[in-house]
Chains A and B, each alone.
Chain A
Amino acid sequence: MECKDIRKLLSPFVDNELTAHEAFMVAEHLEGCAPCHREMEEIRRFDEQLKTAGRQPLSGIEDLRDGILWRLSPWFAVRRWRGAGAAAAALLFLVIGRQLFSAPSDPEATAFSDALIAETRLQQSQPFSLSWLEPQSVQDLLKQEGLEAVPNLAPAGFHLEGARVCYPLSHPFVQLVYRNRSEEVMLFVSRRWTRSLSGTIKREGFTIVPLGVRAVFLVTKDTLVNFTDTRELAEEEIGALTS
Chain B
Amino acid sequence: MSSRASFETEALPHLEALLRTAVRMSGDRARAEDAVQETYLRAWRSFRTYQPDTNCRAWLFKILVNVIKKAAGKKRHDPLAAAEDVETTPKVVQLFPNADAGETQDIMEAVQQLAPEFRDVLLLVVVEGLSYKDTAHTLDIPMGTVMSRLYRARREIRRWLTMPETPRQERKPGHGM
Decide: A68 near B40, CB < 8 A? Known: A11-B147, A50-B127, A54-B127: yes
Determine if B177 and A8 form an interchain contact, defined as CB atoms under 8 angstroms apart: yes
Are A55 and B44 also in contact (CB < 8 A) when A61-B19, A67-B37 are? no
Chain A, 205-218, contact with B by CB distance < 8 Å: what is the 0/1 string? 00000000000000
Q: Smallest Cβ distance from B37 to chain A, in angstroms?
A: 6
Of the candidates B37, B111, B126, B158, the one whose C-beta lies within 8 Å of that of A64 is B37
Nearest A-chain residue to B132, judged by Cβ = A17
Q: Which residue from A12, A43, A54 sits with its C-beta under 8 Å from B20?
A: A54
A46: CB under 8 A from chain B?
A: yes
Taking the closest CB of chain A, its distance from the CB of B53, in whole angstroms, is 20
Name A residues whose Cβ lies closer than 8 Å to a Cβ of B.
8, 11-12, 15, 17, 42-43, 46-47, 49-51, 53-55, 57-58, 61, 64-65, 67-68, 71-73, 75-76, 79, 127-128
| Interface pair A68/B36, CB less than 8 Å apart | yes
Residues of A within 8 A of B139 (CB): none
Given contacts A11-B150, A15-B150, A79-B8, contact A50 B19 (CB under 8 A): no
Name the contact of A71 in the complex, choosing from B41, B111, B132, B150 (C-beta under 8 A).
B41
Of the candidates A17, A71, A79, the one having the most CB atoms from chain B within 10 angstroms of its own CB is: A17
Q: Is the CB of B41 within 8 A of A50?
A: no
Jot down 6 A-B pairs with beta carbons below 8 A, ordered by A: A15-B125, A46-B107, A49-B107, A58-B16, A64-B19, A128-B41
Are A57 and B16 in contact (CB-based, < 8 A)? yes
Chain A residues, Cβ within 8 Å of B150: 11-12, 15
What sequence of 0s and 1s flags, for each residue 1-19 of chain B, a beta carbon within 8 Å of any chain A beta carbon? Answer: 0001101100010011001
Chain B contact residues: helix, strand, loop or mixed? helix
With CB as the reference atom, state the residue of chain A lying closest to B153: A11
The reply to whether the CB of B55 lies closer than 8 angstroms to some CB of chain A is no
Are A43 and B108 in touch, CB under 8 angstroms?
A: no
Given known contacts A50-B127, A71-B37, A58 and B107 CB-to-CB distance under 8 angstroms: no
Q: Bound complex: CA of A57 vs CA of B19, how far in Å?
A: 11
Q: Which of B34-49 contact A (CB under 8 A)?
A: 36-37, 40-41, 44-45
B141 at the binding interface (Cβ < 8 Å):
no
Q: Which residues of A contact B140 (CB under 8 A)?
A: none
Indicate which residue in A8, A50, A55, A65 contacts B15 across the interface (CB closer than 8 Å): A65
Bound CA–CA A65/B12 (angstroms) = 8
Cβ contacts under 8 Å, A72 to chain B: 7, 40-41, 44
Quote the shortest CB–CB distance from B33 to chain A (angstroms).
Answer: 6
Instruction: Assess the B41–A54 pair: CB atoms within 8 A.
Output: no
Interface residue from B8, B33, B108, B154 paired with A46 (Cβ < 8 Å): B154
